Amino acid sequence: MDKGRGILRDLNINYIQSVDRAIDILNAFSAEKPALTIDEVMKITELTRATAYRLLYTMERRGLIRYDTAAYQYRLGLKMLDYGYQLTSSLDIVKEAEDILTGLHVKTQQTVLMVLIEDEQLVYVFKKEKEEGLKYSSSVGQRRSLFYGVLGRVALAYLPEERIAKLLSGPIPKETPHTVTDKQQMLEQLAEIRRTGICVEVNETTLGVTAIGAPIYDAKKNVVAATGIICPSIQLSEDQLQQFKEMLRKAAADISGRLGYISAG
């Protein structure tokens, strides 16, 4: 073994500024801002035009960035998707969950999703879509806020009380006319999620869509992920809704069990 490599990692060495700035540019893109002009990149990163151009051009050559000549905007390149796939395939939780969620998709014939909860954000790591009809906008590797969708609400429910209070002190984004934006009503919903271990949203993120979500626990009893079923409301009877809730609850419990979680019940 090359012991020198370990020693180098322990040294308090200076970081490489150009790499740091390139990462700042990559972090400037988001679900809300998937495309940026050079001026927007400069504003977000506080880089000069010359530096921003050089870094963008270098990353464009390597496939990390692509340039839309018609719109004069930059977007993340397809190489980023490759990295996302490599990361998600290497995550133990995805490996443990994949066959369970694929089975859930086959049984329900609906879209099934899973997110990891990281730095108070959702990171989509699994998606099996309904073959016909409804398509869900979020894709594997994408990040969303905790206010987005049924999985965001599940994640929000299991944060410490002080974090929930702080997040709810600001405005709640309104996706549709049916999105819950009242603070007290939201707190009641979060308490209900913790009590039942399930969340149901109807028309709150997308009109005509019913979404069901459930938490996934790790061995330390922390909620580290969430999984959900997304389906057209018009095709969903009350009996089916109850069946899907139980199927999702079981799938989430099975994944939690594989992660070492032992239920108190």
Q: What is the pLDDT of residue 130?
A: 75
- Pick left, alpha or beta for residue 149 (phi over 0 → left; psi -120 to 50 → alpha; otherwise beta): left
- Pick left, alpha or beta for residue 113 (phi over 0 → left; psi -120 to 50 → alpha; otherwise beta): beta
pLDDT in tens, 242-256: 999 999 999 999 999
Domain extent listing, the chain: 3-76, 82-258
pLDDT in tens, 33-53: 899 999 999 999 999 999 999
SS3 (DSSP) at 123: strand
Please check the confidence at residue 115 and state whether its pLDDT lies above 50. Answer: yes
Q: What is the pLDDT of residue 263?
A: 76
The torsion angles phi and psi of 208, rounded to 5 degrees, stand at 85, 10
Element (H, E) at 118: strand 111-118
Q: What is the pLDDT of residue 158?
A: 95
For 86, counting Cβ atoms within 10 Å of its Cβ (0-12 exposed, 13-18 middle, 19+ buried), the class is: exposed
pTM greater than 0.75:
no
Residue 165 binned pLDDT confidence (cut-offs 50, 70, 90): very high
Please check the confidence at residue 4 and state whether its pLDDT lies above 50. Answer: no
Greater confidence, 179 or 89?
179
Residue 195 binned pLDDT confidence (cut-offs 50, 70, 90): very high
Q: What is the pLDDT of residue 41?
A: 97
Q: What is the pLDDT of residue 1?
A: 45
Tell me the CATH architecture of domain 82-258: 2-Layer Sandwich (3.30)
Q: What is the rounded average pLDDT of the residues 163-173?
A: 90
What CA–CA distance (Å, rounded) separates 9 from 107?
A: 48
Q: What is the pLDDT of residue 77?
A: 92
Q: Which top CATH class is 3-76?
A: mainly alpha
Spatial strand order in the sheet of 35-36 = 35-36, 73-76, 65-68
